[in-house]
Chains A and B, each alone.
Chain A
Amino acid sequence: MDTRDLSIAEMGRALRSGATTSVQLTQDALERVKAQDDKLHAFVLVTEDLALAQAARADAELKAGSDRGAFHGIPYALKDIYDTAGIRTTCHSKLRLDNVPPHNSVVAGKFDAAGAVLLGKLATHEFALGGPSFDLPFPPARNPWNTDHVTGGSSSGSATAIASRMVRMAMGSDTGGSIRGPAAWCGLVGIKPTYGRVSRRGVFPLSWALDHCGPLSRSVEDSVLTLQLLAGHDPYDVASVEMPVPDYSADLNKGVKGLRIGIPRDFFIGASATTHDTLAGIDRTAAQLREAGAVVEDVKLPDYALFGAAGRVIMMAEAYAIHEADLQNRLLDFGEITANRFVLGATVRSADYLAALRVRRELTDAVTEALRRYDALLCLSALNTAPRFDAPVDALSSGAPMQTIPFNVTGHPAMSVPVGLGADGLPVGVQVVGRAFDEAMVFRVGRAIEVLSGWEGVALPA
């Protein structure tokens, strides 16, 4: 059978019915990697032997009646900042080329325990920040929709691998939009769960206060199944919160009738980078949600610039603290973009950092208050579609096109969902934001958008 477009749930059903095997799914995926990755550069390491061994074990277990659940026998891949026991984890950096961690990250361990099949480690912007760059040990991942264009970052290889059908789901990380940005620019679903929902232990940090782990995937349902596996308390991640994990599938297809959805239109309406295509995308989505029975209206939030400033000051201060010794002693071993960004953290004074934390509280309160009146917020994921490699925009500048960092600052769950293609043939995504720990509502609204937009009928790049 043709396995390349099977969802995670469909692969699971096919495995259990005997229509396919995990070894077949894995061989098919490896073939797609071999056929495409020379030009797309999604992977920095393909773990072929391990994958085939894990797949054979999954088949044997399923045949023997031992079923580990939704990911049993399913191929996936990890951004190369997730520690994998005995498998090189480089952060896409010369500084960690020889790093072979002794232990799994919590996330990798959960996939292992669930019987999933690790295809390999994926390209990222260096240390989840610096890129796309051509002066690193591995080339930057390219956007399968048009290889002259960037994927967005930093979970660049994750987006490339999924959009090119190499794999159905891959893990990213998100400190200012590193899951949702590449998802938007590559026509994928990407969710940043609530701060504290998924353990970050064993994932190389960029900013302790803003880092989140989450999946990129082809569909909302794929992300539902992934978060169902990964959500949960970890007493050894200081940010982790002990909250019940609901059944994310229970209300997934309930639609939006009667829901109240607010659009913080001031975030994007006056921004110079906003394009006709992205505006049309969110307006069309709002109209479809109204038609489906939701109340959709504009909502006022604090100035976008404040969210951006608080997020970037916190991020750069913390990133600098992590990398200070290497910046002092090995600055030229970082990629130029990475080093140029990280050194800005040395300019943040304690008063600046504390001001950012105070503003963070103010902004979090404002978003929480808005979400008392609305079930979800809807905004753009990015102001534009993916730019070309030769027209880069500094992701840390005040003019950056991503609209994702506000919800790293506030910690609310946020998911990018594709809604169509721009005139340039590149995907447009919108962002659904929910109350803290209410990822179920984010999935429900996102699923409705996925259906209403007709995105499921849009063909991915060949």
Chain B
Amino acid sequence: MSSLTPDELAREFDGFMTRGGLTIPPGRRATVLASYADFRAQIDLLHGRQDHTGEPAHIFATSRDGDA
């Protein structure tokens, strides 16, 4: 699961919506936020699984997302 607090998760979500030019009706916000929390946890599962040994073309990230 994401280490973000619910407030941080909500701010992150709002940032994505703003950047995408999307307006979520207030009455739907809680439902969509709950889905986002679950979706964000699924996204997190995908990161940090590959290093150079898994990249025969030597195209790989040198650090995990969020690392310096």
Q: Residues of A with Cβ closer than 8 Å to B?
A: 305-306, 308-310, 312-313, 316, 324, 327-328, 331-332, 336, 339-341, 343-344, 346-348, 351-352, 355-356, 358-359, 362, 394, 396-399
At the interface, yes or no: B65 with Cβ under 8 Å from chain A? yes
Give 1 or 0 for each of B11-52: 1 = CB within 8 Å of chain A CB.
011001101111111001001100110111111011101100
User: Which residues of the partner chain A approach B17 to less than 8 Å between Cβ atoms?
Assistant: 343, 346
Which single member of A331, A362, A398 contacts B41 (CB below 8 Å)? A398
CB-defined A-B contacts under 8 Å, sample of 13: A312-B42, A313-B46, A328-B20, A339-B28, A344-B36, A347-B16, A347-B39, A347-B43, A352-B47, A356-B46, A394-B35, A394-B38, A398-B41
Closest to A328 in B: B21
Which single member of B21, B40, B42 contacts A308 (CB below 8 Å)? B42
A346 to B28, CA, bound (A): 16
A313 to B50, CA, bound (A): 17
A398 to B41, CA, bound (A): 9
A335 to chain B, nearest CB (A): 12
Interface contacts beyond A328-B21, A341-B35, A347-B13: sample of 6 additional A-B pairs, CB < 8 Å, sorted by A = A305-B45, A309-B42, A343-B32, A346-B20, A355-B46, A398-B38
User: Which residues of the partner chain A approach B31 to less than 8 Å between Cβ atoms?
Assistant: 340
Which single member of B13, B28, B49 contacts A355 (CB below 8 Å)? B49
User: B65 contacts A351, CB within 8 Å?
Assistant: yes
User: B35 contacts A358, CB within 8 Å?
Assistant: no
A337 to chain B, nearest CB (A): 9
B23 to chain A, nearest CB (A): 7
A306 to B39, CA, bound (A): 12
- Give the A-B contact count at a CB cut-off of 8 A: 87
User: A312 contacts B22, CB within 8 Å?
Assistant: no
User: A313 contacts B43, CB within 8 Å?
Assistant: yes
User: Which residues of the partner chain B approach A396 to less than 8 Å between Cβ atoms?
Assistant: 35, 39
User: B16 contacts A346, CB within 8 Å?
Assistant: yes
User: A398 contacts B49, CB within 8 Å?
Assistant: no
The 5 closest A-B pairs by CB, nearest first: A346-B20, A309-B42, A355-B46, A347-B16, A309-B45
Which single member of B16, B23, B49 contacts A331 (CB below 8 Å)? B23
A368 to chain B, nearest CB (A): 16
Closest to A327 in B: B22
User: B20 contacts A324, CB within 8 Å?
Assistant: yes
A53 to B58, CA, bound (A): 60
User: A340 contacts B65, CB within 8 Å?
Assistant: no
Closest to A311 in B: B42
A112 to chain B, nearest CB (A): 40
User: A309 contacts B46, CB within 8 Å?
Assistant: yes
User: A344 contacts B22, CB within 8 Å?
Assistant: no
Knowing A336-B28, A340-B35, A358-B54, the reply to whether A348 touches B43 (Cβ < 8 A) is yes
User: Which residues of the partner chain B approach A398 to less than 8 Å between Cβ atoms?
Assistant: 38, 41-42
User: A340 contacts B32, CB within 8 Å?
Assistant: yes
A398 to B49, CA, bound (A): 19
User: Which residues of the partner chain A approach B13 to less than 8 Å between Cβ atoms?
Assistant: 347
